[in-house]
Chains A and B, each alone.
Chain A
Amino acid sequence: MTDNDVAVVRPKQRSSGAPPGPAASAPSPSPERVRKRGGSIRSRERWAALSFLSPWLIGLLAITIGPMVASFYLSFTDYSLGYGEWVGGENYARMFDDPRLANAIKVTAVYTFVSVPLQLAAALLLAIVLDRGLRGMAFYRSIFYLPSLLGGSVAIAIMWRQVFGTEGLVNQVLAIFGIQGEGWVSHPDYALGTLIILHVWTFGSPMIIFLAGLRQIPTMYYEAAKIDGAGVMQRFWSVTLPLLTPIIFFNLVLQIINSFQSFTQAFIISSGKGGPADSTMFLTLYLYDQGFTQFDMGYASAIAWLLLAIIAIFTALNFLMSKFWVFYGDND
């Protein structure tokens, strides 16, 4: 998970102007608070630290690391509530001839790799437009941000299901133009599309991160480019975009990780079944189905590790590819 750590810290590094690097993710050592006051005071500080950290440490061991280890073990058993035996790699072998799992991977991948770029493009476009400092900017920002605040809730998924239903808002509007729409959420070819649109609709939070990033770009770069005769588009391509690539990268990593874990919207839109015809069966839904409906928890644990592996691989790939397009040249 160390790759992710760097991602989380990066925006803070940028704002403080520190050169990026993994070393910066560790807290800087505090100045010598108890210098030359003897070992007993230092050990008092350690005991204090232990007591402050104890809830977190217990949580880390009991709620996070313990279950992680247990999950890995379970993935080699046929555990089902209260009873299970070691089956070796059987669960993992079973994945290779499970067409529903293959389909779930495909659905999740399509969802992620279509919706995330669209969402980030919308976020970037609106951030650049709003960054002009127009009157009413705060108002627009709020309106565009609101959907991403509400987007994860069941109520919004219910709304979406109706908006894209046979007689829903979309088809009512299409009817005005004389177009007969489909029942989008109940059609296997379109149901995933409605979820993608829902994801794009929540572009508000990456937009806010982009806005914060745009504010970090020093005005002098634009002034220098202007003096050199750069036009609007050229300033965008040669100044704004390169300097924004670390933020784009950060949003990309974050959104890909998040969207692989999407659950609620697909669950509600398909009444928990991932339908129609498994067309909205995300990996997370399949995991829920195997683990908490069929109670095949061994296989579900194996799926969980598959999910983690997929996320880790794409995050690692993201970091590898970032060398070719992310620009960190601003350490003067």
Chain B
Amino acid sequence: MTETPTPAPRTRAKQGTPAVGLKRFVFHLVLIAAAMVMIYPLLWMLSASLKPIDEIFADPGLIPSSWEWGNYADGWNALPHPFEKYIWNSMIIVAGSILGNLVSCSMAAYAFARLRFPLRGMLFAIMLGTIMLPIHVVIIPQYILFNNLGWVDTFWPLIVPKLLATDAFFVFLMVQFIRGLPKELDEAAAIDGCGYWGTYLRVIMPLCMPALATTAIFTFIWTWNDFYSQLIYLRDVDLQTVPLALRLFMDSTGTTNWGALFAMSIVALGPIFGFFLAGQRYLVRGIATTGIK
């Protein structure tokens, strides 16, 4: 606790005096050191993906002696299918999940936030309860259900639940958001002759864009990263997704082609990093208002 704030947290450090300047300098130094430790493994993997193989496990530095772009080509073609096949499979699931979550969760959220109906309080409580329900409790009967429907080794078990708003976390997120919108807008729409569907489509949804964006980004990241349910439902080699392909790659290469494996790991992290750069505003808001991941 050496870094506890000297001035009260809300007042900014005073400019000027040398003592304060020095203190701030040390402060930044410590923070930069901590940040370096945090991201060094990531930078190390990035650089290892470009290093010759014998150098990866010999030199902890970040600059490769020669730039081995061939690692990426090797990794891309190391598995039964070229890597774009796995990216494509992941993208299909991601696109279906995003569409499903945006439509089904926003519909449920509108009902919870704006409409009155019997048992609303109880259903709302149940909805919140399902957020915390471990997937492990329902996965076996779900598997049996989808197996009986003949859906194992298709993308349906991964997409259909999203169309049915089972990611209740996003329902909650949007309920919170819609409750923050002025009710006068709904009333004005009603006076102008909008029904409930009209109000939902033309008034609420356009105003919900920030919440919808947060939902889309989180759905992308979670689905892209998801391993457990894809591992269970997708065993066919033609349906493997990016995380499954990486796992296959790791378990099959043994200890040979690490540069190529790291290269494909970087490819897998790329889209998440892109969303991190582009959509950070929404991510931070999503976490700060609802507190999940």
List, in ascending order, chain B residues with CB within 8 A of A154's CB. Answer: 225, 227, 242-243, 246-247, 265, 268
Interface residues of A in 44-61 (CB under 8 A from B): 44-46, 48-50, 52-53, 55-56, 58-60
Main SS of the interface on chain B? helix
- Looking at B27, B261, B291, B292, the one whose CB has the most chain A CB atoms below 10 A away is B291
List, in ascending order, chain A residues with CB within 8 A of B81's CB. Answer: none
A-B contact count (CB 8 A): 348
The answer to whether A63 and B288 have CB atoms under 8 Å apart is no
List, in ascending order, chain A residues with CB within 8 A of B261's CB. Answer: 158
Q: Top 8 nearest A-B pairs by Cβ distance?
A: A59-B164, A1-B129, A167-B57, A67-B141, A155-B265, A70-B141, A26-B121, A49-B117
- Complex Cα distance, B127 from A1, in Å, reads 10
The answer to whether B175 and A27 have CB atoms under 8 Å apart is yes
Q: Given A30-B183, A129-B3, A153-B272, is A205 in contact with B138 using a C-beta cutoff of 8 Å?
A: no
Q: Given A1-B133, A11-B290, A50-B117, is A236 in contact with B4 using a C-beta cutoff of 8 Å?
A: yes
CB B198 to nearest CB in A, in angstroms, measures 11
Interface residues of B in 1-36 (CB under 8 A from A): 1, 3-13, 24, 27-28, 31, 34-35
Set B4, B34, B221: member contacting A149, Cβ < 8 A: B221
The answer to whether B57 and A27 have CB atoms under 8 Å apart is no
Q: What are 19 pairs between A and B in contact, CB < 8 Å?
A: A7-B132, A11-B289, A12-B176, A25-B125, A27-B179, A53-B107, A59-B163, A63-B161, A74-B140, A131-B9, A140-B31, A150-B42, A153-B243, A155-B246, A155-B266, A158-B246, A158-B262, A172-B57, A301-B141
- Complex Cα distance, B261 from A291, in Å, reads 30
List, in ascending order, chain A residues with CB within 8 A of B3's CB. Answer: 125, 128-129
- Looking at B38, B228, B231, B289, the one whose CB has the most chain A CB atoms below 10 A away is B38
CB B47 to nearest CB in A, in angstroms, measures 10
Q: Given A154-B268, A201-B38, is A45 in contact with B115 using a C-beta cutoff of 8 Å?
A: yes
The answer to whether B13 and A63 have CB atoms under 8 Å apart is no
The answer to whether A56 and B108 have CB atoms under 8 Å apart is yes
- Complex Cα distance, B243 from A60, in Å, reads 28
Q: Given A45-B196, A159-B41, A235-B8, is A308 in contact with B34 using a C-beta cutoff of 8 Å?
A: no
